Chain A
Amino acid sequence: DVKVTQSSRYLVKRTGEKVFLECVQDMDHENMFWYRQDPGLGLRLIYFSYDVKMKEKGDIPEGYSVSREKKERFSLILESASTNQTSMYLCASSLSGAGDTQYFGPGTRLTVL
Chain B
Amino acid sequence: AQTVTQSQPEMSVQEAETVTLSCTYDTSENNYYLFWYKQPPSRQMILVIRQEAYKQQNATENRFSVNFQKAAKSFSLKISDSQLGDTAMYFCAFMRKNTGNQFYFGTGTSLTVIP
Contact = CB atoms under 8 A, between A and B. Distances in A.
Interface of A: 31, 33, 35, 40-45, 48, 50, 56, 58, 88, 90, 92, 94-96, 98-107
A107 B43 CA distance: 7
B91 interface: yes
Contacts of A43: 91, 103, 105
23 contacts: A31-B101, A33-B102, A40-B9, A42-B6, A42-B91, A42-B105, A42-B106, A42-B108, A44-B105, A45-B102, A45-B103, A50-B100, A58-B102, A94-B101, A96-B100, A99-B50, A99-B97, A100-B101, A101-B47, A104-B37, A106-B43, A106-B44, A107-B43
B25 interface: no
Nearest to A95: B101
A41 B107 contact: yes
Contacts of A56: 100
Given A42-B108, A106-B44, A107-B43, A99 B103 contact: no
Interface in B58-102: 91, 95, 97-98, 100-102
A42 B107 contact: yes
A98 B108 contact: no
B93 to A, nearest CB: 8
A85 to B, nearest CB: 18
Contacts of A42: 6, 91, 105-108
B11 interface: no
Nearest 4 interchain pairs by C-beta: A104-B45, A42-B107, A99-B33, A43-B105
Interface of B: 6, 9, 33, 35, 37, 42-47, 50, 52, 91, 95, 97-98, 100-103, 105-108
Given A50-B101, A106-B44, 7 more contacts: A31-B101, A43-B105, A45-B103, A90-B45, A99-B97, A101-B50, A102-B101
Contact of A96 (B37, B45, B101): B101
Contacts of B106: 42
B3 to A, nearest CB: 11
